[in-house]
Amino acid sequence: MIHFQDRNKPNKSISDFSARRRIVLIFIMASMAVLVGRAVDLQVLNKQFLKDQGDMRHVSDVDVEAYRGLIKDRNGAPLAISTPVESIWMNPQEIEPKQENEIRKMEDLLTLPNGKVDELIQADTHRQFAYIARQISPVLADQVKVLKLTGIYFEREFKRFYPTGEVSAHLVGFTNLDDIGQEGLESGYEKLLKGISGSKRVIRDGKRRIIEDVENIKEPVAGKNLDLSIDQRIQYLAYRELQLAVNLNKAKSAVLVVLDAKNGEILAAVNQPSFNPNTRKNLKESLYRNRSITDVFEPGSTVKPFVVAAALDGGYVKPNDVFETQGLYQIGTNVVKDVHNYGTLDLTGVLKKSSNIAVSQMALKMPPEYFWGIYNKLGFGVAAESGFPGEATGSLLDYQSWHKFDRATLSFGYGVSVSALQLARAYTTLADDGILHSVSLLKRDEDPAQKRMFSVKTARRVRAMLETVLMKDGTAYEARVNGYSAAGKTGTVKKAGAGGYVENNYFSVFAGMAPAKDPRLIIVVMVDEPSAGQYYGGIVSAPVFSKVMEGALRVLEVAPDQQDNMPVLLTR
């Protein structure tokens, strides 16, 4: 028998499938609702949770400091070096009250006033960073780390250290806490010394502590070393003698420059008073300024040898000419006079006795343009281009505005201003047979910019004249150098004030070279306002020249060329 299914009766299998589909659909919809609800909860209602989780671990890039280059003297002795140190900082938001005893211990270790950390926290209750101590020794930092303080962090840095302290302070200069050059050669050669910082990728935790290094992005490039022309042995010798002279003469300040006569290298540049660049609290600008290169003064009679050389080389005077210096020399309504009545003087006598009247007569024989040209080519009124930041240019008025009396005063060093370095550079023309050298603070073998100023014959003739200045009847007997011939010139200059030149305020100057027959070194000494009774350059500055020159020549192992002024050694 055959049975037929009623078409109007639902199929059971189809009904079962529809039920299952509804269940799956309801499940999917419920899951989507849960996800949407969770998303709304996390992103709208409770979004801080995701932020906190993101802060717990995140990747960031940090700088890697480059090692700052060394500054060294010509023999490799370090004048400025960088040493690794640590700085301590805190996140005030993380400091816990229960750590109070440990915080007091930290303040004691760091020699901070009690309550200093509390003061930093209260200064700004919203900030998350504050330095507690900068650039402390790693040993001290380790002692603080033992306390395991929450919210206290450590940062590796470099600190600049100056082994020679006050001796080379004005020359080398110093950096700030961020290791950026502020003064001296540290500032002038900042780009070369600083190097290039690197970077690395790190993972930080929620307290911004580095918990893992991910990768090096860029390696730091260390700064380059700076090899100076300075000889630290001579620098120290000059510093010591200049300090003694300032104390002995109760002077306001003093400067001294030592040049290599053969190539213009600066072997020493010293100032008094000085400062310690390693501990420079309450430091005034006037104390750290390198006066030997940046400050100027009227050179006085130290320029007279150039007037004689210019007049000889130009043919305006003859080697056998003589000059009458009796009485006063009238120039219009002005008068030039000497300290004493020297009578009739030849060229040698003019320099030996330092006659203002005689050099004034010479100056007036030369055309103003020629006379100005000599001074200008010597570097007066022009920066010496030593590479030191802020070096002086000095001043020299244009010859078109000169009157006769201006030419006269310029011949004995008034109306023109120079730095000690500029004056020393000018003396290379007399020391190296008429060659004017450029100057350099960097070590070099030869001078690529040397140029001829005077003829060999003129330079040697004037140099021989300057030897007589150091004779007993000259103006600088105290400048004699034991074991060596020497030549030089004194200068005693009244200082200018607001209302003109001031009585009893002087620059005491001496410029000279040795050995006289073939000079190796040039030294310029300037003492500002000696007040112990003596003020002549031949008495105040000449003895400093003598001691520094003798010591420097022996340091450089220059053979003595004289026996008559050698010290007598007593033996038993």
Residue type, 214: V
* Residue 471 structure tokens: 């004779």
- Contact criterion met (CB below 8 Å) for 376 and 346: no
Of 268, 264, 265, 68, whose CA–CA distance to 168 is shortest?
268
Residue type, 255: V
Residue type, 292: S
* Beta-strand relationship, 152-161 and 253-260: unpaired
CA distance 25 to 42: 26
The pTM of this model reads 0.83
| Three-state DSSP string of 420-464 | HHHHHHHCHHHHCCCEECCCECECCCCCCCCEECCCHHHHHHHHH
* Residue 327 structure tokens: 């009485």
* Residue 178 structure tokens: 């961020």
- Contact criterion met (CB below 8 Å) for 188 and 181: yes
DSSP 8-state assignment for residue 57? S
Q: Backbone phi, then psi, for 33, in 5-degree steps?
A: -65, -40
Q: Is 301 a catalytic residue?
A: yes
Do you know the residue count of the chain? 572
What is residue 364's three-state secondary structure?
Answer: helix
**What pLDDT does 569 receive?**
42
- Contact criterion met (CB below 8 Å) for 323 and 336: no
Helices (H), 173-290: 184-188, 190-194, 232-249, 285-288
Distance, first Cα to last Cα, the chain: 159
Question: Which residues, 6+ apart, have CB-to-CB distance to 378 below 8 Å?
Answer: 306, 425, 426, 429, 436, 453
CA distance 458 to 337: 27
Domain spans of the chain, in order of start? 62-118+128-227, 232-276+290-555
CA distance 273 to 258: 18
Helices (H), 250-301: 285-288, 291-294
Residue type, 341: N
Fold designation for 62-118+128-227: Penicillin-binding protein 2a (Domain 2) (3.90.1310)
CA distance 515 to 531: 32
Q: Backbone phi, then psi, for 253, in 5-degree steps?
A: -165, 175
- The beta strand positions in 97-248, using DSSP E, are 130-136, 152-161, 174-175, 181-183, 198-204, 210-218, 226-227
Q: Following CA atoms 89, 92, 95, 101 in sequence, which dihedral angle do they give, to the nearest 10 degrees?
A: 70
Fold designation for 232-276+290-555: Beta-lactamase (3.40.710)
Neighbours of 212 (CB within 10 A): 11
Burial (CB count <10 Å: 0-12, 13-18, 19+), residue 370: middle
**What pLDDT does 9 receive?**
56
Q: Which is catalytic among the residues 87, 253, 301, 354?
A: 301
Taking the alpha carbons of 517, 258, 438, 69 in that order, is the dihedral positive or negative? positive
CA distance 452 to 458: 12
The β-bridge partners of 157 are 85
Of 511, 507, 527, whose CA–CA distance to 273 is shortest?
527
**What pLDDT does 570 receive?**
40
**What pLDDT does 245 receive?**
97
- Contact criterion met (CB below 8 Å) for 391 and 319: no
Note down pLDDT in tens along the chain; length 572 residues: 555 555 555 566 666 667 777 787 888 887 787 777 777 766 666 666 656 555 555 666 666 678 899 999 999 999 999 988 888 888 887 788 788 888 888 888 888 888 888 888 777 777 778 888 888 888 888 888 888 888 888 888 888 999 999 999 999 999 988 889 999 999 999 999 998 877 767 666 555 555 556 667 777 788 999 999 999 999 999 999 999 999 999 999 999 999 999 999 999 999 999 999 998 776 777 788 999 999 999 999 999 999 999 999 999 999 999 999 988 999 999 999 998 999 999 999 999 999 999 999 999 999 999 999 999 999 999 999 999 999 999 999 999 999 999 999 999 999 999 999 999 999 999 999 999 999 999 999 899 999 999 999 999 999 999 999 999 999 999 999 999 999 999 999 999 887 788 888 999 999 999 999 999 999 999 999 999 999 999 999 999 999 999 999 999 999 998 876 554 444 33
